[in-house]
Amino acid sequence: MPASGLPRPIRVAIVEDDPVFRSAFAAAIAAATDMQLVGVAASQREGLALLGGLRADVLLVDLGLPDGSGVEVIQASQTAWPGCSAVVTTALGDEQHVMRAIRAGAAGYLLKDSSPGDIASEIRTVAAGGSPISPLIARRVMALLRESEPAAGAGQAAGRAETEVALSARETEVLKLVAMGYAYHEIAQRLEVSRHTVLTFVRRIYAKLEVRSKMEAVNVARRQGLLAD
């Protein structure tokens, strides 16, 4: 999508310890006319400090930082920069890493070997409210959100939250098609919506997953007596 028409550039911040990737991302952003790099951090500490500064629209975060995990940066960004889309950068896009980030509140993931053009387009997708997804992630998310039984002792609170995080029919359909290997534009054709709408479905699904993992954390804490009812 040409950026010239946009009233305001997409503000991007990077938390990445590897200088090669840091500069690669920075170069890709610089090459895109509709984006603006507003902050760079090389460690968890710097990343958390970054959150006190100018608010970014998209935050690229590496999980494996030398002084801690990027997961904490993602979580902190949720409160510090409401509406900011955190994106985890990953070498392989494997389920383990991506799921951890999404459950912490990430809106998407970016493969580190992506071409500069792909990097820019992924950032645009996320900034516009969409999220990418892979078949394995789709399968995993379906399995997680289908575990319908509420945690023991959670009571009606869990029952209410349960309906909040339940997948809609369309969302389930999107996940199924992704798991079958269909591309976004093919799914959009099938559901008779735009490609962007499909991507926003994915964003909504991720949000539910995040709510659910928070809920589980509360339930676990309650079961262990860490929280009063």
Interface residues with another protein (CB under 8 A)? Answer: 18, 20-21, 23-24, 27, 64, 90-97, 112-113, 118, 134-136, 139, 178-183, 186
- Give CA–CA dist 135/165, Å, rounded: 20
Residue type (1 letter), 91: A
Q: What span, in angstroms and rounded, lies between the C-alpha atoms of 24 and 113?
A: 10
For the bound state, the minimum distance from the C-beta of residue 96 to another protein, rounded and expressed in Å, comes to 6
Q: Which is nearer to another protein, 186 or 216 (CB)?
A: 186
β-pair partners for 39: 13
C-alpha–C-alpha distance, residues 40 and 42, integer Å: 7
* Nearer Cβ to another protein (198/215): 198
Q: How far is the CB of 185 from another protein (least distance, A)?
A: 11
DSSP-H helix ranges across 37-94: 44-50, 70-80
Instruction: Return the number of the residue (17 or 57) whose C-beta is nearest another protein.
Output: 17
What residues contact 175, with CB distance under 8 A and at least 6 apart? 133, 138, 139, 141, 142, 167, 205
Task: Supply the minimum distance, in Å, between the C-beta of residue 115 and another protein.
Answer: 8
Q: How far is CA 12 from CA 47, 96, 186, in A?
A: 13, 25, 30
CB of 27 to another protein, least distance (A): 8
Q: Shortest gap between Cβ of 34 and another protein (angstroms)?
A: 22
- Can you tell me whether residue 176 is helix, strand or coil? helix
| Unique residue bearing structure tokens 């029952």 | 159
165, 214 contact by CB (below 8 A): no
Smallest gap from residue 65 Cβ to another protein (A): 12
For residues 25 and 16, the answer to whether their CB atoms sit within 8 Å is: yes
Q: Which is nearer to another protein, 21 or 173 (CB)?
A: 21
- Rank residues 112 and 222 by Cβ distance to another protein and give the closer one: 112
Do residues 172 and 145 touch, judged by C-beta distance below 8 A? no
Nearer to another protein, 145 or 154 (CB): 145
